[in-house]
Structure 1
Amino acid sequence: MDPTEFLQGSTVRISEETYAVCRTDQGHPAAFATIEDETETTVVVEHDDVSSIDASAVESGWKRLTFEMNLPFELVGFLATVATALAETDVSVFVLSSYTTDHVFVKENDLDAAVPQLEQLGCDVTN
């Protein structure tokens, strides 16, 4: 499977919400995502919820770009294609994947650089 074929005509939705990525010792009930491993817990929350988290580090100002498509597990290189296109314009990413959907977070001030790159890949970027 060619990842560029999946991107052609796909919809990428930009979240209305702005998010913060927080290092903490526990999950949060309002988190968009919670990632726990042996060394740390990371929660992704809407920016307005940051004050309710006991966080040791916070990185704010992220917009969520959701690729509104079902991505099969056999698809190789999808995120590499997206991340490479964004890296070409110095856009840093934070990525979360659910079972069939990928979410790429970019800094709000990088949206003007990210959107044309995604459109060049054939994506329809919408709010």
Structure 2
Amino acid sequence: MSMTVEEALKQATFYSDDQLYVFLKLPSRAITAAAGVVAEISEPFCALIVDKDEVSLLIPEEALEDFKGRLRDYQGENKRYRLITVDIELPMEMVGFMARLSQKLAEAGVSILPYAAYSRDHIVIEDKHFDNAMQALRALQSEI
């Protein structure tokens, strides 16, 4: 029997690594530089997304200073982000889990950047909304 969304929500733990992150946009030609930065950071969380138009990079704020010279032409807002990890192994075929989290966070006025690893989900939110987001997620669990 597969796990339901409600069962997953009951079992999930939400935690943060207490790091501040920056979200950067680079031109598509910067893929090699961005991949090299991710490889050298060796932090437990960073993200690199490449599409036909751009390279997006989410890295710890402290790493930006170290790698600025290699990330020429980056764009980024002057915002800091926090990571919330949903600590439960989720089956790939689960439908609606992130939708439930997203709905609750939207009701709380929190904008999200969702990321999926192979087995776990992560939510990146602006630092100023972190406490509100954690309260909303805990409230969601208590409603089940």
TM (norm. structure 1) is 0.87
Structure 1: 5+ residue runs without aligned partners?
Answer: none
- 20-29 vs 83-92, greater mean Cα deviation: 20-29
Moved over 4 A (4+): none
**Structure 2 match to 1:116:** 135
Larger radius of gyration: 2
**Structure 2 match to 1:41:** 55
Quick one: which amino acid aligns to residue 36 of structure 1? Answer: V
Compared with structure 1, are the counterparts of its residues 55 and 71 closer, same or farther at alpha carbon in structure 2 (3 Å cutoff)? farther
Of 12, 16, 21, which aligns to 1:14? 16
Quick one: which amino acid aligns to residue 103 of structure 1? Answer: H
- For residues 61-103 of structure 1, what are the alpha-carbon distances to aligned partners after superposition, in whole Å with 9 as ceiling and x for unaligned? 1100001111101110111110110000110001111111111
Q: Using the alignment, how far apart are the partners of 1:74 and 1:112 within structure 2?
A: 30
**Structure 1 match to 2:72:** 54
**Contact between 1:8 and 1:121, CA under 8 Å: does it hold in 2?**
no
Larger relative strand fraction:
1
- 103-112 vs 30-39, greater mean Cα deviation: 30-39
**Contact between 1:23 and 1:43, CA under 8 Å: does it hold in 2?**
yes
Which structure has more relative contact order (CA 8 Å, sep 6+)? It is 1
Larger relative helix fraction:
2
Q: Using the alignment, how far apart are the partners of 2:5 and 2:22 within structure 1?
A: 29
**Structure 2 match to 1:75:** 94
**Contact between 1:19 and 1:63, CA under 8 Å: does it hold in 2?**
yes
**Structure 2 match to 1:90:** 109
Instruction: Report % sequence identity.
Output: 24
**Cα root mean square deviation, aligned:** 1.7
Give the number of aligned pairs.
123
**Contact between 1:85 and 1:118, CA under 8 Å: does it hold in 2?**
yes
TM (norm. structure 2) is 0.78
Q: Using the alignment, how far apart are the partners of 1:116 and 1:105 within structure 2?
A: 15
